[in-house]
Amino acid sequence: MRPAYPHPIIAREGWPFAAAALAAALAVGVAAGWGWSVPLWLVALFVLQFFRDPPREVPDDPRAVVAAADGRVVAVERARDPWLERDALKVSVFMNVFNVHSNRSPVDGRVQKRWHHAGRFINAALDKASTENERNAVWLRTRTGEDVTCVQVAGLVARRILCYVEEGAELRRGERYGFIRFGSRVDHYLPLDAEMKAALGERVRAAESVIARLAVHG
């Protein structure tokens, strides 16, 4: 097992929000009394828990495909990968506002291409969110030639998809590559011969939970 990456406990994407919430709570407490500031302290606590980014241990198995997001598995099925125009195995993970929202690479691989598609903001737990909502897709190719597509999907509340990699980037399994604010979904499209490990309704943790194992070729 190896750590996913070194980082602070609160994701850097949340620093401005956390600072603003804490400053507002402190200012109201000092100016008007601590009783009046209680609602703002609750808001600050929510912001801190939403942007928490705990360290994770990544499985050493080179064939393991790990979850790219924390949350509940809402789809395990054979589907059409609209980005690579192929039949694939699809695993979708829904993140509510209480899940960690950092996104991690599911495999060791090189970014072949990245797409962004503007769209709607319907409930990300619904299947149609995969084709109708705003989304960002990353196509990864492993060293042994398997293609994995990882798609960040905005949700009903989520209005901001962040992706920090471009074509040609090398990612390690479990490495942080993006973030979504606030409640959303990640779709994984895997080769048809992958061995599925994820189960519908299962709770998974990004970088740690193995959702599938890639087949051995050659």
Convert 114-162 into a string of H (helix), E (strand) and C (coil): EEEECCECCCCCCCCHHHHECEEEEEEECCCCCEEEEEEEECCCCCEEE
Helix axes 38-50, 15-32, angle to 10 degrees: 170
Given the residues 92, 130, 184, 209, select the one marked as catalytic: 184
Residues 107 and 96: their CA atoms lie apart, in Å, by: 24
Q: 92 near 116, Cβ under 8 Å?
A: no
Residues 140 and 94: their CA atoms lie apart, in Å, by: 21
The yes-or-no answer on residue 184 being catalytic is: yes
Helix (H, G, I), strand (E, B) or coil at 215: coil
Residues 199 and 197: their CA atoms lie apart, in Å, by: 7
Q: 189 near 81, Cβ under 8 Å?
A: yes
- Considering Cα of 52, then 96, then 87, then 191, what sign does the dihedral take? positive
Residues designated catalytic: 184
